[in-house]
């Protein structure tokens, strides 16, 4: 938890860290509890990690489990919770089906009335080959987004990004030009890439005059930590 000065008032940020598994219903119950804990601790805005509803690298099984946004029970419950707690809830991302053979890695910003005020589909797919034989092809299962997204909070304008987007400065330049005060980076980096890049890239990004909210996934295989970074204003 941390409290930051902004206009018109202070606000408190809660970053949820959880280890999503293969079962959306179980993941949802964990998220609901942790969001409630954040509210109890005084959070006005709560962010969950990337892939809050499921983490499954097996394409066929994942696509057989996820559903379109309009049918997603996790999203419906999360909207209800935002309304019940009267908080701004930023769902780091959910896997939602957009075609028979693709899902979207989609963030949702939900207001205290439970309304979805912004959606962002992850643009930069995590297609990498790592030392030791690890290989990931996010583009085999997910359709990449096409547009940068920013949305207004009571305390300033928020830029929405997800995980591997952090490697691509053009997106952050576009969000800066859109007048953002804050950048959200919910993530599920792998252990290897998290150790190599997560903290380094977050520290590099803070040299922009932004406040960075980076909610990470806990446990193996992802090992990054949640970070809430003050803007660096020195020259």
Q: Which of 39, 97, 143, 163 is catalytic?
A: 163
Structure pTM? 0.84
Sort residue 79 into left (φ over 0), alpha (ψ -120 to 50) or beta: alpha
How far apart (Å, rounded) are the C-alpha atoms in residues 71 and 64? Answer: 14
CA distance 151 to 117: 7
180/111 Cα distance (integer angstroms): 18
Q: What averages of pLDDT result for each successive group of 10 residues across the chain (235 residues)?
A: 53 91 97 97 95 93 97 98 98 97 97 98 82 74 96 95 90 93 83 56 52 49 44 33
Q: Is 122 a catalytic residue?
A: yes
Calpha distance 91→184 (Å, rounded): 11
- What does the pLDDT read at residue 231? 42
pLDDT value of position 5: 41
Residue 80 a catalytic site member: no
Q: What is the pLDDT of residue 150?
A: 97
* Set 50, 97, 143, 224: catalytic member: 50
Say which of 39, 97, 122, 143 is annotated catalytic: 122
Is 60 among the residues known to form the active site?
no
pLDDT score for 167: 85
């Amino acid at each position: 938890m941390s409290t930051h000065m902004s206009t018109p008032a202070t606000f408190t940020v809660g970053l949820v860290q959880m280890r999503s598994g293969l079962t959306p219903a179980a993941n949802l119950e964990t998220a609901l509890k942790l969001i409630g804990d954040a509210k109890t601790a005084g959070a006005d805005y709560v962010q969950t990690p990337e892939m809050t509803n499921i983490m499954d690298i097996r394409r066929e099984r994942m696509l057989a489990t996820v559903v379109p946004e309009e049918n997603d029970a996790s999203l419906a419950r999360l909207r209800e919770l935002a309304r019940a707690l009267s908080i701004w809830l930023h769902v780091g991302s959910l896997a939602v089906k957009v075609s028979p053979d693709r899902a979207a890695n989609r963030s949702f910003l939900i207001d205290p009335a439970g309304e979805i005020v912004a959606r962002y589909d992850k643009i930069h797919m995590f297609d990498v080959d790592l030392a030791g034989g690890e290989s990931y092809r996010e583009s085999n299962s997910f359709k990449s987004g096409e547009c940068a997204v920013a949305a207004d909070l009571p305390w300033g304008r928020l830029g929405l990004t997800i995980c591997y987007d952090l490697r691509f400065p053009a997106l952050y330049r576009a969000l800066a030009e859109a007048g953002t005060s804050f950048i959200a980076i919910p993530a599920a980096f792998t252990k290897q890439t998290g150790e190599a890049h997560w903290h380094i890239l977050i520290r590099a990004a803070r040299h922009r005059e932004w406040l960075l909210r980076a909610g990470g996934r806990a446990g193996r295989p992802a090992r990054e930590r949640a970070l809430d970074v003050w803007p660096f204003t020195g020259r």
